[in-house]
């Protein structure tokens, strides 16, 4: 049995999967506020309760924002700041008396979709989350690609590639730079850019609906979004050459992306043809916790 835990800022979720990926149990509790020790205790309790209920012992994987530093073994870059600087893997291994795997939520998303989701069977998978932020993870032959810095796939804070003049220098990003991919492709980024162009504040969903109804400004915003996404992914294809690019996060629910982006990404891919597939996630919000179980 495999236990996966999605450790978020507001809730902690556990899932139990059998070896075929069938869900045996799932439970969700609030994350203790600003309390590392209490967070550890909640995770331990969830594991023990799941094992008692199922009568099985499981492997444990945890998905959380941030990355484990190879140099120090401590978590960094997490937006749950109480976790930063903590030796969470070591602490949980001693509390649970077993190995604990930890990876970030984008990696878990990519692993879930590559294992038994929309990219099942593909050798090289680039899993992209287009949500309030933009992140990505890389899975090669069923394993998350990590690196000495623990940031493989972190592409949201690279600059938008092949910018035209009016895209420069680009919106200010919280990371301190300007023109990051995230500032163009996140949900809030798209809303801000549409508002700047048109003076009308609409959610991404509203922009999609109005474009379908023939609103020319909304249609233009969506085409611009598709063009930027195509450029951003083409840049990755030129480096990684993945078999499948799978999209998750709120913006991945824009169905037209899957037809329109592959129609144009060949303009920037250094190849006479592009056989990479662009697909929508299969597990949606469950990908994080499922991927943690597969770690
Ligand atoms: Zn940035």
Spacing, Cα 119 to ligand 1 middle (Å) = 28
What is the torsional sign of CA 107, 109, 111, 114? negative
C-alpha 87 to ligand 1 mean position (Å): 26
Residue 52 Cα to ligand 1 midpoint, Å, equals: 44
Structure tokens that stand for 179 in this block: 């023109």
pTM over cut 0.95: no
Peptide bond preceding 252 in cis form (omega within 30 of 0): no
User: What spacing in Å lies between the alpha carbon of 171 and ligand 1's midpoint?
Assistant: 9
Query: How deeply is 284 buried, as exposed, middle or buried, from its count of CB atoms within 10 A (0-12, 13-18, 19+)?
Result: middle
For residue 187, the CA-to-ligand 1 centroid distance in Å is 14
Classify residue 31 by its DSSP letter.
P
pLDDT at 285: 84
State residue 153's pLDDT score: 93
What's the CA-to-centroid distance between 248 and ligand 1, angstroms?
19
Say how many Å lie between the CA of residue 172 and the centre of ligand 1. Answer: 8
C-alpha 195/C-alpha 213 separation (Å) is 19
pLDDT in tens, the chain (295 residues): 999 999 988 899 999 999 999 999 999 999 998 899 999 999 999 999 999 999 999 999 999 888 888 889 899 888 778 889 999 999 999 999 999 999 998 999 999 999 999 999 999 999 999 998 899 999 999 999 988 888 899 999 999 999 999 999 999 998 899 999 999 999 999 999 999 999 999 999 999 999 999 999 999 999 999 999 999 999 999 999 999 999 999 999 999 999 999 999 999 999 999 999 999 999 988 999 999 999 9
CA of 151 to the centre of ligand 1 (A): 14
- At 79 the pLDDT is 73
Query: Residue 67 has what pLDDT?
Result: 84
- Which pLDDT score, from 0 to 100, does residue 8 have? 87
Within 10 angstroms of residue 177's Cβ, the number of other Cβ atoms is 15
- The per-residue pLDDT for 170 is 95
Q: For the chain, how are helix, strand and coil distributed in percent, rounded to 5?
A: 40, 20, 35
Sign of the C-alpha dihedral computed for residues 219, 225, 227 and 229 taken in this order = negative
Centre of ligand 1 to C-alpha 7, Å, is 23
């Amino acid at each position: 049995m495999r236990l996966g835990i999605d450790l978020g800022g507001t809730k902690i979720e556990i899932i139990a999967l059998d070896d075929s990926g069938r869900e045996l149990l799932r439970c969700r509790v609030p994350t203790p506020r600003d309390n590392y020790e209490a967070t550890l205790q909640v995770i331990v309790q969830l594991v023990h309760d799941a094992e008692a209920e199922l009568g099985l012992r499981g492997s444990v994987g945890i998905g959380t924002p941030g990355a484990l530093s190879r140099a120090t073994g401590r978590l960094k870059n997490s937006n749950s700041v109480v976790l930063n600087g903590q030796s969470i893997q070591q602490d949980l291994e001693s509390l649970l008396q077993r190995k604990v795997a930890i990876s970030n939520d984008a990696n878990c998303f990519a692993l879930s979709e590559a294992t038994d989701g929309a990219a099942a069977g593909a050798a090289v998978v680039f899993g992209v989350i287009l949500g309030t932020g933009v992140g990505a993870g890389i899975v090669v032959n069923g394993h998350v690609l990590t690196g000495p810095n623990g940031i493989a796939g972190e592409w949201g804070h690279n600059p938008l590639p092949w910018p035209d003049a009016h895209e420069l220098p680009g919106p200010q990003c919280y990371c301190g730079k300007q023109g990051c991919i995230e500032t163009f492709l996140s949900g809030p980024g798209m809303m801000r850019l549409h508002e700047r162009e048109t003076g009308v504040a609409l959610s991404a969903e509203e922009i999609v609906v109005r474009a379908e109804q023939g609103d020319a400004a909304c249609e233009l915003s969506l085409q611009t979004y598709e063009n930027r996404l195509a450029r951003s992914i083409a840049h990755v294809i030129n480096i990684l050459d993945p078999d499948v690019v799978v999209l998750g996060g709120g913006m991945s629910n824009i169905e037209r992306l899957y037809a329109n982006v592959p129609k144009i990404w060949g303009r920037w891919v250094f190849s006479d043809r592009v056989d990479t597939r662009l697909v929508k996630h299969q597990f949606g919000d469950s990908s994080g916790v499922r991927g943690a179980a597969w770690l």
